[in-house]
Structure 1
Amino acid sequence: MHVVMVAAENDRLPSCKVGGVADVIRDIPYALAEQQVRCSVIVPDYGQYALNREFVADIAVPFKQHLETATLWRVASDSGVEQYVVSHSLFSHHGGAIYCNDGDQPFATDANKFALFCAAVSELLEHQMIGPVDILHLHDWHAAVVAVLKTFSPRFVNLKQIKTVYTVHNLALQGIRPFKHDDSSLESWFPTLSYDGSRICDHLYPHCFNPMRAAINLVDKVHLVSPTYCEEVQHSSDHESGFFGGEGLENDMQAAARTGRLAGILNGCIYSGHEEQTQALTLSEYCDLAEQSLFVWMSNGEALKPAHYIAHQRVIQWRQQSTFRRPLVTSVGRLTDQKALLLRQPKDGQLILDSVATLINEYGGVLVILGSGDPHLEYLFTQVMARNENVLYLQGYGQELGDHLYDLGDLFLMPSSFEPCGISQMLAMRAGQPCLAHQVGGLKDTIDHEHTGFLFAGRTLDEQSQQLLAGLRQALDIHRNEPQRYLEIKANARTQRFSWDAIASQYIEKLYE
């Protein structure tokens, strides 16, 4: 069996990661290869000059009434997995950035780029440039146009014979663009394509093309990255009450479920080699590491950011202590409303995050947050750090900073409003750090309340916020008053296994066979 994975990100390659999809594309092909499944992975070439390239073929791609030339390169081949990139000036035009922020034209630049990428992938598969293919596995909206061309273009004969699987990693990002009258539109990319608009239009904006919906409706199997998320997306979202479900695509998900095309399979985590990591740092050593990162971030900007200045002052202040104040509560991840909506809810003239800091302080503890993202959330988190001496907010990202926080922390905070699967909770648990998490998506599927961590729920944003604080108090109470029980919860968390080997077997059984 030859499976071809098509995605926008791949953490096996340098500078080819933004989010969790890159981890999946990095790991699952090798787990499949262990089960005698040959895998090829194809992503765009964003201009990673460190790649060791082997020319495979030039690809003639009809696009926007021109015949573009893209190039297929093999950049690695090992353990039954072949890694490819497709190069074209459009993919590397933005200085190596994988995604662009278009402001008032959402997805416009990226949609152009990924439409050309999908057209190139369709051509190379049609002409069997990497050999015959049994399963085509597309990931998120960036790869969805392959399914559209496969279904509606009469030019693709061999492509139509390939069974196609589509994985939804995050339903909140659907890549919606107009059908026509725009440079970044379906008819601009493929002006001669005849299509059934009813199957690929957006429900809310029928004059727009929805790549996510198109792929869900056109492929043979649809895969959600956890069983609970698979259930949630079949229900309508209610953002006012804090429920994030189908995001307008719930009817399509229900239809896929009725026809047996829908499957929920959890993502996995790598465990081998983690035990050999170095000993956890002391407070002083972590502060030294944070200071080094802060200096780098400061030097990269023309003006000094308040977040970096206040964080540096906090590091100096904390370094005067001889040991970490315990409990140490941690959080690692991008700052988006998905992750932080509950934390920015108002409470007593401040934010829920202030209440979290105050509660942790009652138990003599500190809160360390690592992450960047939404500028407004960065601003709010900086204000919270300024108001609370037991909070250190590191506005940026560093692999080493995050890895050590997983090892150092006593409790990992993950109050996501929705979480298709989540990897941070798995990394924290792998390090023996229990999580306090919202009972949604993959968090519900990976955390066992009071056994490997702590879960909270609620029917409204206010209830969820209150239950978050109640859950935090419960966890901190056990940490202080029942230390042996807390050690058992830590040990239980550490021994949990969500291995890619077991998940690869489910891919084969539920998606491929």
Structure 2
Amino acid sequence: MNTFLFAAAENDAIPKCKAGGMGDVVRDVPRQISERGDKVHVVVPAYGRLHKNGTFKTSLNFELRGLMYNADLYEVPPKKEFKNVHHYVIHHPEIEAGGIAHIYHDDPEEPFFTDAIKYFIFNTAVAAAIKQGAFGNLNVVHLHDWHSSLLLFLREYHKDYKMLKDIRFVYSIHNLAIQGIRPFSDNYSSVRNWFPDMAIDTKRLMDYRYTDCINLMAVGIRFADAVHTVSPSYKEDVMKPSSPPEFIGGEGLEKDLKKADKEGRLFGILNGCNYKNINAEAKGEIYRNTVKALFSWLQDENKKYKADFLAHTGEKIMKYVGNRPKFIVSSIARLTEQKYYFFKRNPDAFVKILQKLKKVDGIFMLLGTGAPEYEELFRKISYENENFIFTNGQSESLIDSMYLECDLYFMPSLFEPCGISQMLAMRNGNPCLVHHTGGLKDTVDHLKTGFTFDGDTYDEKIKNMLSAFDVALEVFENDKPKWEKIQIAAKRKRFTWKKSVDEYYKFLYNL
């Protein structure tokens, strides 16, 4: 039996520990490994809250800032039990919950200041737990994004953790744009402050743009035994330099990624999608679930500032309760540049889509929260366009209904390492309209399982996005057999975790 440790910032196998797609992967891959008869331990920070219903396992002692630190390891109950999968959290008072999903901090003055502190403590505690044998004898440690890459730094330079060199380390990149850059010195949240006596090679750790800083995403890429992008096409994208907004590639780390590829350490393996134990909403509940979500937010003190907008959305949705529109387009995502840059830069293009929908008695439903300027933009467009339903909040049951009941799922991401939303929509037999980039290239085929757009320039992309939308409406309105064929093909596509994890064993885990 092989024994694995997954270390990450998120784990959706336990309640209230997910902000994005990484949480899904950290939930699903261990379950698949357990089906193969191997053992997995998954560890994440407690964020001051996740240890409360856990069982205390052991105390962890380690040195940081020239002082002795003490953290606690708890085993916590998962949402669903799987044989040989154990979930843990590490509790320390300085590992605090941030504002983003009660996980990440957003420090506008000094990006990553608070997050770096808590992940420095978390990673050192994980290294101490491995050394103490808290997870038994490990064959593979699988790290996810910059939040856990410090384990590779400790493995390379820390005298107390040399034994980590005997274990294979795998590093998965979920979001290359967020790199965890912090100063080497002269700052509370710097490497020298937390590891004052360590002899390090700053050249091997530094960021190319800010040479007085460590780049923790780069540390993962430079030091791991295997590096993994979450789709084959994204692997090709990240080895080329970015030239935004036309193309988002290696984000300054393309040299490192090319080198990893040359050394045979870089692998592009598509994420899977869950086709079992699906949280199914009944069909026809989409408007009721919208109203339910709006009512619960109207009672939330924190949402008072947008009470007027929530009431406006409720009034709109009531129109459709007994009078279903002929065509529903939906989109669900965090409101960020990655997901909706095209609409933010060109709101007119989005309004044109709404006008095209109006002609066929269609509506556009968007659900999400995120950057204030994106929330404000979509609220403004909602006040001005009656067939745009913007649900500015988070609701699992409404999200399930939107994936289930839309006619077309819209995903105009500027870049997309893998994307899970398109897989969830396709799972329900709903065609997607996507930007032909990253993992979306690997999952949606134009006029076969959905619709795609691309272009060499930004203006060309916008023009082609509107044309692709016209094509989708044209097929839906005037060629029902073809539309049904696309729906069936979308539903038949299977992106299974079994297939992905078979490739993990072969290429990443080397087992």
Q: Same fold (TM over 0.5)?
A: yes
Cα deviations across residues 160-184 of structure 1 (Å, max 9, x unaligned)? Answer: 2111110000101001111110011
How far 1:394 moved relative to its partner? 0.4
Give 2:128's match in structure 1, choosing from 118, 123, 126: 123
The aligned residue for residue 305 of structure 2 is 303
Aligned length: 503
The aligned residue for residue 466 of structure 2 is 469
The aligned residue for residue 182 of structure 1 is 187
The aligned residue for residue 249 of structure 1 is 253
Identity %: 37
* Cα distance between partner residues in 2 of 1:227 and 1:93: 34
* Cα distance between partner residues in 2 of 1:71 and 1:6: 16
The aligned residue for residue 91 of structure 2 is 87
How far 1:51 moved relative to its partner? 5.6
**1:204-353 counterparts in 2 under 5 A?**
204-240=209-245, 242-274=246-278, 277-281=280-284, 285-300=285-300, 301-319=303-321, 322-346=322-346, 350-353=347-350
* Cα distance between partner residues in 1 of 2:320 and 2:176: 40
Cα deviations across residues 484-512 of structure 1 (Å, max 9, x unaligned)? Answer: 11011111111111111111111100101
- Return the TM-score normalized by structure 2: 0.95
* Cα distance between partner residues in 1 of 2:214 and 2:150: 10
The aligned residue for residue 132 of structure 1 is 137
2:495 alignment partner, SS class: coil
Q: Does 1:429 align with 2:429?
A: no
Larger mean Cα displacement after TM superposition, 211-220 or 300-309: 300-309
Q: Which runs of 5+ in 2 are unaligned?
A: none
* Cα distance between partner residues in 2 of 1:323 and 1:315: 10
* Cα distance between partner residues in 2 of 1:501 and 1:266: 11
* Cα distance between partner residues in 1 of 2:281 and 2:240: 45
How far 1:69 moved relative to its partner? 0.5
* Cα distance between partner residues in 2 of 1:66 and 1:137: 28
* Cα distance between partner residues in 2 of 1:50 and 1:280: 37
The aligned residue for residue 29 of structure 2 is 28
1:181 alignment partner, SS class: coil
Report if aligned partners of 1:150, 1:159 keep a CA contact under 8 Å in 2. Answer: yes
Report if aligned partners of 1:174, 1:212 keep a CA contact under 8 Å in 2. Answer: yes
Cα deviations across residues 403-438 of structure 1 (Å, max 9, x unaligned)? Answer: 001111100000001000111001000011110000
The aligned residue for residue 104 of structure 2 is 99
Report if aligned partners of 1:111, 1:175 keep a CA contact under 8 Å in 2. Answer: yes
How far 1:306 moved relative to its partner? 4.6
The aligned residue for residue 64 of structure 1 is 65
CA change 1:49–1:254 in 2 (3 A) is closer
How far 1:63 moved relative to its partner? 1.4
Matching residue's letter, 1:12: A
* Cα distance between partner residues in 2 of 1:352 and 1:309: 27
* Cα distance between partner residues in 1 of 2:127 and 2:281: 45
* Cα distance between partner residues in 2 of 1:169 and 1:304: 32
Matching residue's letter, 1:19: G
The aligned residue for residue 39 of structure 2 is 38
* Cα distance between partner residues in 2 of 1:64 and 1:49: 26
How far 1:316 moved relative to its partner? 3.0
Give 2:119's match in structure 1, choosing from 102, 114, 117: 114
Larger mean Cα displacement after TM superposition, 56-65 or 400-409: 56-65
How far 1:279 moved relative to its partner? 3.5
**1:148-163 counterparts in 2 under 5 A?**
148-163=153-168
* Cα distance between partner residues in 2 of 1:94 and 1:215: 23
* Cα distance between partner residues in 1 of 2:169 and 2:119: 18
Report if aligned partners of 1:15, 1:48 keep a CA contact under 8 Å in 2. Answer: no
The aligned residue for residue 420 of structure 1 is 417
Report if aligned partners of 1:345, 1:465 keep a CA contact under 8 Å in 2. Answer: no
How far 1:352 moved relative to its partner? 1.7
How far 1:363 moved relative to its partner? 2.3
Cα deviations across residues 294-341 of structure 1 (Å, max 9, x unaligned)? Answer: 12222223434453232122123334xx33212111111111110001
Cα deviations across residues 236-290 of structure 1 (Å, max 9, x unaligned)? Answer: 00014x211000000000000000000001111111244x835311xxx432321
How far 1:36 moved relative to its partner? 2.4
* Cα distance between partner residues in 2 of 1:93 and 1:231: 35
Once superposed, what is the RMSD of the aligned Cα atoms?
1.6
Q: Which runs of 5+ in 1 are unaligned?
A: none
Matching residue's letter, 2:151: V
How far 1:52 moved relative to its partner? 4.2
* Cα distance between partner residues in 1 of 2:307 and 2:376: 10
Report if aligned partners of 2:58, 2:74 keep a CA contact under 8 Å in 1. Answer: yes
2:320 alignment partner, SS class: helix
2:105 alignment partner, SS class: coil
Report if aligned partners of 1:44, 1:87 keep a CA contact under 8 Å in 2. Answer: yes
The aligned residue for residue 498 of structure 1 is 495
2:126 alignment partner, SS class: helix
Report if aligned partners of 1:14, 1:50 keep a CA contact under 8 Å in 2. Answer: no
* Cα distance between partner residues in 2 of 1:315 and 1:399: 18
Report if aligned partners of 1:344, 1:352 keep a CA contact under 8 Å in 2. Answer: no
1:231 alignment partner, SS class: helix
The aligned residue for residue 7 of structure 1 is 8
